[in-house]
Structure 1
Amino acid sequence: MVSLLLFGTFVLLLIAAVPVAISLGLASAFALLYSGKVSSSFIAQGLVTSIDSFPLMAVPFFILAGDLMGHGGLSRRLLNVGAVFFGRYTGGLAIIAVVTCMFFAAISGSGPATVAAIGGIMLPAMSKAGYDKGWSVGLIASAGSIGIIIPPSIPMIIYAVSANVSITQMFIAGIIPGLMIGIGLIVVAWFSARKRGYTGDERRYTGREIIATIWDAKWALLVPIIILGGIYGGVFTPTEAAAVGVIYGFIIGVFVHRELSWKDIYRVIAESALTSATVILIVGTATIFGRVLTIEQIPVMIAQAMVSLTDSHILILLLINILLLFVGMFMETLAAIIILTPILLPVVLAVGVDPVHFGIVVIVNLAIGMVTPPVGVNLFVGARIGNTSLEKASAGALIFIASMLIILMLITYVPSLSLAPLSLMGK
C-alpha cells in the first residue's frame, strides 16, 4: 500500500505538471506519513544530509564553468576550428555541429547547455544554408546529449555518488562511448545530408589561416586537457577540477578574450545559481524518495523478482534498457538516476555486471531520453533556439535516435568499450 501511494502520488503530480523536485518530495512525505515508520523530521534531515557531500560540490562548479566558457567566446572559437577542418565536406555544417558539441561536452558536462551554446550559433547558420530546421534541431539535440556522456558529466557525478563508485572511473569509462555516439551521428548526418543535397562550403583555407584559427581557439582547446588531464593525472579531484574550470573560464572570458563584462558575469552567475538550485533540490528530494524505497524494501523485491524471472544478464540488461528508455521519456535525468540506481544496481550486481559499466549504460539510456518527447529537454531547448515546432524537431531527430540506439546495444553488451580504458590506465 505504501509503494502504491508513493508511486501513485508521484505519477499523479507529474501528470498535473507539478515540478519534478516538488513531486518527489510530496510523494515521499505522503508515503512516510502513511507508513509511520519514521518521524516527520526524516524529510528535513534527508534534504540536508543528501546534499552534504564533497563530490556533489562539483555540480554547481561545472554548471558555472560551462556558462562562463559558453558566454566567454570559447564555443564560437571551437566552431571556427570545426569549420576549417570539416566545412568543405558534404553536410559540412552538420559535421561541424556534432564535432563542436563533442568538444563542448568536455567543457560543460550538461546536455541542455551544450545544445544552447552550440545551437545558438549553428542553427541560424544551418537555416541560412538551406538545411531543414527540424532536421538541424534533431541533430544538434542528439549531439548535445553527448554532453552527459563525455566527461566531465554532471549525471555521472550523481550516479557515482548514488552507486558509491569512483567519479574518476566513471569519467574514464565514458570517453569511448561518447566518441562512438559522436562518430555514429557524424556518419548518419553525412549520409542523410548527401541524400538531402546539403553541400559543403566551397571555401578552401590556407595553411596560415588554419594555424591562425587554431591559435585563436587555443584557450578553448586547452580546457579538456587541463580539467581531464588534472583529474586523470591525480593533480586534483573532480570537485577541485570543477573549481579550476570556473577560475579558468573567468580569466579567459574577462581578461583574455574580453567578451565577458561585469554585467555579463552577474547574469551568468544568476543563471547558474538558478540551475544549480534546481539540480540540488532534485537531488535532495530524489534521495528521500530513494530512501523511502529502501525502507519499504522495494529494490530488494524487484531484484529478487527479476533474478527469479531469468538469470541471464543479457535478458536482464535488455529489460533494464527498455525500462530506462521509457523512464527517460518522462523523467528528468538526475531524478531518474537517483531513484533507479538503488533499485536496479542490486539486480545487475546479482548477475555479475560491473557497476561502472552499468553506470555508463544508465547514462547513455538517459542521454537518449533527453532527445525523446514528451520530456526531451534537449529538443525543447533546440526547438526554441531554432524557431521550429517540437513536432518537427522530434521527426528530425528520429534517424539520429536510431543510430544512438544501435550504439547503446554495443555499449551494453561489449563491456570492454567502457572498461578497457580503466585497465589501460590502471584504475
Structure 2
Amino acid sequence: MTTAVLFLTFLVLLLMNVPIAITLGLASLAALLAENIDPIIVPMNVYAATSKFVLLAIPFFILGGNVMEKVGISGKLIVLAEKFVGHMKGGMAIVCVLVATFFAAISGSGPATVAALGMIIIPAMVKTGYSKDFSSALMASSGAIGVIIPPSITFVVYGSIAGVSIGTLFIGGIIPGILMALGLVTVALLAGRKLDIVTMPKSSWKERMVAFKDAIWGLMMPVIILGGIYGGIFTPTEAAAVSAVYGLFVGLFIYKSINLKDLYKLLVDSTAQTSVVMLITATASLFAWVITVSGIGEAISSMFINVTGGNVIIFFIIVNIILLIAGAFLDSTSALFIFTPLFLPVAIALGVNLVHLGVVMIVNLAIGLITPPVGVNLYVACGIGDINLHKISVAVVPLVVTALLVLLLVTYVPGVSMFLTGFMG
C-alpha cells in the first residue's frame, strides 16, 4: 500500500510538471499518512538531513563560484585559452572544452558553467564556422564536466549520504573529468574537419604570458582548494569557505570589480541558489527515509542482490541503466538521495569500493544534464544559443555517445577513478 501511494503520487505530480522538490515532499507525506505515521516526523527528518556540517560546503562553493564569475574570470580564461590554442583548426571548440573544465573547477556546477561561458563561447564558435546547433550542444556537454571535476557540489551531496570522504571523491573525479574533456574535444575536431573553420592568428609567447598573468588569480582558486584539502591543511567544508573568502579578496582588492552593492546582490543570489539545493535535499532525504522505513529499500536491495547473483558487472549494468533513465528526468541531488541508499547495501555486499560507485553515479548524472527531456544544461544552452530543444537534442547525440564510452571505461576499469586516490595519505 505504502509503495503504491509513494510512487503513484510521485509519478502523477511529476507528469503534472510540479517542481521536483514539491513532488518529493508531497509524495513522502502521502505515504506517511497512508502508513499512519505521525507527520511530526517530517520536520525532524528535514532538520536531520540539512543540518550536516559537510553540507556547509554547498553555499560556500556557490558563493565562491558566483564571485569569480562576477569578477569576469570566465572572460579571462577564454582569452588565455585562445592565446594558446586559438590558432589551431577547431581551436574555438578546444577553447570551449578547456575553459569549461577550468571554470568547472571554480563553480562546481554544470548549469552555472554553461551560463557563465555560453554567452561568449557559442557566438565565437559560430563565427569560426561551427553551426549554432553544434556550438550550443558542445557548450552544454562541456558544462556537464562541472559535476565531475573537483570541487563538485554533487560529490559533496553523495559523500554526505554515503559517509564517504569528500576529499577522496574529489580526487576520484579528476581522471574521469579529463577523459570526458578529451572525448568532447575529439568529437569537436572530427566535426570541424568537414567545415571551413576560420582560425585565429597565432599568439606570441609574450601575449600568452600577459593572458596567463591576467587569469592567474582565477586559476589559483582550484589549486588552493584542492591543494589545501590534499595537503591536510583544511577539510572540504573549510576549503569551500576559503574559496568564498579568496573570491571576495580577488574581486575587492585585486581586480577591484566588486563594490558593496555587488556584494549584497552576490550574497542574495548565492542564498537563493543554495535554498533551491537545500530544499531538494530536505524533501529528497524525506523521500529516501520513507523508502527505508517502509521496507521498500530493503526489498529493492534484496532484489538487486538476487538479480545480480553476486556479479559486479551485472550490478553496474543495472546501476547505469537506472541512473541514465533517472538522470533524464531528475536533478542530480534528488537522484542521489533516492538511489544511493538503494545501491549502497548492494555495493557493500558485492565488495564495490564506495568511491568508485560514487564516481560512476556522478558520471551518469552528468550525462543526464545533456539528455532530454529534463537536461538542464540543454535548456540553458538553448536560451543562450537561441535554438529549440529538438535541434540541440540532435546535435548533442555524438557528444552523448562519447560520454557513454567514458562512462563504460569509468565503470569497468576502477583504476580510472581509483588510481589517483592511491597517492593520498
Instruction: Quickly name the TM-score band, shorter chain normalised.
Output: over 0.9
Counterpart contact for 2:129–2:196, Cα < 8 Å: no
Counterpart contact for 2:140–2:370, Cα < 8 Å: yes
Letter in 2 for 1:246: A
Write the distance in 2 (CA, Å) between the matches of 1:418 and 1:310: 23
Show the 5 A alignment for 1:204-223: 204-223=202-221
Tell me what 2:277 maps to.
Answer: 279
Q: CA shift at 1:389, angstroms?
A: 1.2
Letter in 1 for 2:158: Y
Tell me what 1:251 maps to.
Answer: 249
Give the TM-score of the pair, scaled to structure 1: 0.97
Write the distance in 2 (CA, Å) between the matches of 1:7 and 1:384: 33
Which whole-Å deviations, capped at 9, do the CAs of 1:14-51 have from their partners, x for residues lacking one?
A: 11111111111110001001101x32110011111110
Letter in 2 for 1:290: A
RMSD: 1.1
The answer to which of 129-138 and 101-110 deviates more is 129-138
Tell me what 1:229 maps to.
Answer: 227
Question: In the comparison of the two structures, how many residue pairs are matched?
Answer: 424
Write the distance in 1 (CA, Å) between the matches of 2:267 and 2:372: 30
Write the distance in 1 (CA, Å) between the matches of 2:299 and 2:48: 26
Counterpart contact for 1:92–1:199, Cα < 8 Å: no
Show the 5 A alignment for 1:177-196: 177-196=176-195
Show the 5 A alignment for 1:26-41: 26-36=26-36, 38-41=37-40
Write the distance in 1 (CA, Å) between the matches of 2:194 and 2:337: 42
Write the distance in 1 (CA, Å) between the matches of 2:409 and 2:347: 17
Tell me what 1:322 maps to.
Answer: 321
Q: CA shift at 1:268, angstroms?
A: 2.2
Counterpart contact for 1:141–1:382, Cα < 8 Å: yes
Tell me what 1:121 maps to.
Answer: 120
Give the TM-score of the pair, scaled to structure 2: 0.98
Which whole-Å deviations, capped at 9, do the CAs of 1:227-254 have from their partners, x for residues lacking one?
A: 1101111111111111111111112122
Tell me what 1:22 maps to.
Answer: 22
Which whole-Å deviations, capped at 9, do the CAs of 1:340-362 have from their partners, x for residues lacking one?
A: 10011112222221111000000
SS of 2:419's equivalent in the other structure is helix
Write the distance in 2 (CA, Å) between the matches of 1:265 and 1:76: 20
Write the distance in 1 (CA, Å) between the matches of 2:190 and 2:178: 19
1:302 corresponds to 2:300:
yes
1:97 corresponds to 2:64:
no
The answer to which of 273-282 and 310-319 deviates more is 310-319
Same amino acid, percent of matched pairs? 45
Counterpart contact for 2:129–2:195, Cα < 8 Å: no
The answer to which of 282-291 and 247-256 deviates more is 247-256
Write the distance in 2 (CA, Å) between the matches of 1:187 and 1:169: 29
Q: CA shift at 1:195, angstroms?
A: 2.1
Write the distance in 2 (CA, Å) between the matches of 1:31 and 1:157: 28
Write the distance in 2 (CA, Å) between the matches of 1:237 and 1:310: 37
Show the 5 A alignment for 1:28-427: 28-36=28-36, 38-201=37-200, 203-311=201-309, 312-426=311-425
Which whole-Å deviations, capped at 9, do the CAs of 1:78-126 have from their partners, x for residues lacking one?
A: 1111001111111111110100000111111101111111112211222
SS of 2:194's equivalent in the other structure is helix
Write the distance in 1 (CA, Å) between the matches of 2:103 and 2:407: 21
Write the distance in 2 (CA, Å) between the matches of 1:141 and 1:273: 25
Write the distance in 2 (CA, Å) between the matches of 1:260 and 1:379: 30
Alignment gaps of 5+ in structure 2: none
Counterpart contact for 2:128–2:198, Cα < 8 Å: no
Write the distance in 1 (CA, Å) between the matches of 2:374 and 2:261: 33
Write the distance in 1 (CA, Å) between the matches of 2:195 and 2:351: 46
